[in-house]
Amino acid sequence: MNCETALVLIYDLVDGEILPKDEILLKEHLAICQHCQTTLKSIEKAEKIYKHEILVTPAPDSVNTITKQVLENKNVFSLQSKKPYWSTKRIVYYLGTMAASFAAFIYLAGSLIIVNLASKIDLTSAISNTSSSNFNLDMSFSQFIESDLLNLLSTITNNISQSTLLKDLAIILFLVSLQFTISYLFTQNKIKQDNKL
Amino acid sequence: MNEIEPTFEAKLVERILKGDESAFAELVAQFHKRIYSIAYRMVGNVSEAEDLCQEIFLRLYQKLSQYDPNLPLTPWICRIASNTTINYLKRRGIKTMPLEIMVNLKEKERPIADEHATPEQAMIVENRDKKLQSAIMELPENYRLAFTLKYVENLTSEEISEIMNIPRNTIKTWLVRAREALRGKLINEL
Ligand SMILES: [Zn+2]
> pLDDT of A119-162, one tens digit each?
655 555 555 555 544 545 555 556 655 666 667 667 666 665 55
Which chain B residue shows the shortest CA-CA distance from A11?
Answer: B176
The answer to whether residues A101 and A149 belong to one domain is yes
Q: What is the DSSP letter of B166?
A: -
* Residue A78 placed within a domain: no
The answer to whether residues A108 and A48 belong to one domain is no
Q: What is the DSSP letter of B100?
A: H
Q: Using CA atoms, how far apart are residues A112 and A195, in angstroms rounded to an integer? A: 39
**pLDDT of the residue at A197:** 43
Q: How far is A89 from chain B (nearest CA, A)?
A: 12
**pLDDT of the residue at A171:** 79
A50, A64, A76 member nearest B151 (Cβ) = A50
* Residue A39 placed within a domain: yes
Are the Cβ atoms of B54 and A8 closer than 8 angstroms? no
Are the Cβ atoms of B55 and A78 closer than 8 angstroms? yes
* Residue A73 placed within a domain: no
Task: Please give the radius of gyration of chain B, using alpha carbons only, rounded to the nearest integer.
Answer: 17
**pLDDT of the residue at B88:** 94
The answer to whether residues A116 and A28 belong to one domain is no
The answer to whether residues A21 and A93 belong to one domain is no
* Residue A83 placed within a domain: no
Are the Cβ atoms of B29 and A70 closer than 8 angstroms? no
Q: In terms of residue numbers, what domain contains A99? A: 88-195
The answer to whether residues A97 and A49 belong to one domain is no
Contacting residues for A18 by C-beta, under 8 A, at least 6 apart = A9, A12, A26
Band the pLDDT of B106: cuts 50, 70, 90: very low
Task: Collect all residues of chain A within an 8 Å Cβ-Cβ radius of residue B62.
Answer: 74
- Each as own residue / partner, the long-range contacts of residues A27-32 (CB below 8 Å, 24 or more positions apart, any chain) are A28/A1, A29/A1, A29/A3, A30/A6
pTM: 0.67
* Residue A64 placed within a domain: no
**pLDDT of the residue at B100:** 47
Domains defined along chain B, listed by start: 8-186 (1.10.1740.10)
A49, A54, A66 member nearest B28 (Cβ) = A66
Is B62 at the interface with chain A, CB within 8 A? Answer: yes
- Top mean-pLDDT range of A102-106, A132-136, A184-188, B38-42: B38-42
> pLDDT of A14-35, one tens digit each?
999 999 999 999 999 999 999 9
The answer to whether residues A93 and A178 belong to one domain is yes
> pLDDT of B135-187, one tens digit each?
999 999 999 999 999 999 999 999 999 999 999 999 999 999 999 999 999 98
* Residue A80 placed within a domain: no
Ion ligand 1: residue ranges with CB closer than 5 A: A 3, 6, 33, 35-36
Are the Cβ atoms of A78 and B54 closer than 8 angstroms? no
* Residue A72 placed within a domain: no
Q: Please give the single-letter amino acid code of residue A34.
A: Q
Task: Collect all residues of chain A within an 8 Å Cβ-Cβ radius of residue B182.
Answer: 46, 50
Q: Is B80 exposed, middle or buried (0-12, 13-18, 19+ CB in 10 A)?
A: buried
Which of A67, A72, A74, A89 would best serve as a mutation to test chain B binding (most B beta carbons within 10 A)? Answer: A67
Which chain B residue shows the shortest CA-CA distance from A17?
Answer: B156
B34, B154, B190 member nearest A46 (Cβ) = B190
**What is the DSSP track for chain A?**
--HHHHHHHHHHHHTT---HHHHHHHHHHHHH-HHHHHHHHHHHHHHHHHHHHS--BPPTTHHHHHHHHHHHTTT-S-STT---SS-HHHHHHHHHHHHHHHHHHHHHHHHHHHHHHHHHTTHHHHHHHHHHTT--TTS-HHHHIIIIIHHHHHHHHHH--HHHHHHHHHHHHHHHHHHHHHHHHHHHHHHHHHH--
The per-residue b/e assignment along A107-130, b for 16 or more CB within 10 angstroms, e otherwise, is eebeeeeeeebeeebebeebbeeb
Is B168 at the interface with chain A, CB within 8 A? Answer: no
Count of the separate structural domains present in chain A:
2
* Residue A58 placed within a domain: no
